[in-house]
Amino acid sequence: MIENIVFLILSGLVLRFSLSITGQNWVKTYQQTIAFLILPVVTYVITKNNNR
């Protein structure tokens, strides 16, 4: 599970940096960076299938 969360955070950063490279200046704010880090993790936690 920890590996998945690290992967999600890294993929959010990759998405943020790729949008920044293509000239999207709105992603350079602190609030957008935090959103790119937190939203994938929150989505994963909500949709994770617990098979106990």
pTM of the model: 0.71
CB 51 within 8 Å of CB 34? no
Over 80: is that where the pLDDT of 25 sits? yes
- What integer pLDDT is reported at residue 50 of this predicted model? 64
Which tokens in the block code for residue 37? 């880090």
Which tokens in the block code for residue 32? 């957008």
Q: Residues 41, 44, 45, 51: what is their CA dihedral angle, to the nearest 10 degrees? A: -150
DSSP state of 48: -
What is the per-residue pLDDT across 9-23, written as a single tens digit (0 to 9) for each?
Answer: 899 889 888 888 888
Over 80: is that where the pLDDT of 52 sits? no
Domain range annotation of the chain: 2-43
